[in-house]
Structure 1
Amino acid sequence: MDYSIIGFLFTALPLFIVLFVFRWVRFIHQNSEKQVEQNEKIIELLMEIKEKTK
């Protein structure tokens, strides 16, 4: 067995983990922005409904 490959994998593993975490955080951030936009639209529609029922 070639130990240099194993050494490379152990060296590269933290890099892959960090990249995965950054990608995951970016995905969560994008989804939270979409959620805020959806919540604002829902509030706007609820306010319109409230005004119509007066």
Structure 2
Amino acid sequence: MDGLGTAKALAAELRDSDAQLILFGVKAAGSDQQQVGPMVATYLVFRV
């Protein structure tokens, strides 16, 4: 799964949660693209 697919899946799960803080790392297996956190924030309409 690429960063976009991961972000969509995480956002779908987090949308119904009552989480007040969501932390994402910088590194992923095979890349350092730092994409997932900002994309999840976009899907959940949070400012980054």
Q: Give the TM-score normalised by structure 1.
A: 0.28
Larger radius of gyration: 1
TM-score, length basis structure 2: 0.31
- The one of the two structures with greater contact order (alpha-carbon pairs below 8 A, sep at least 6) is 2
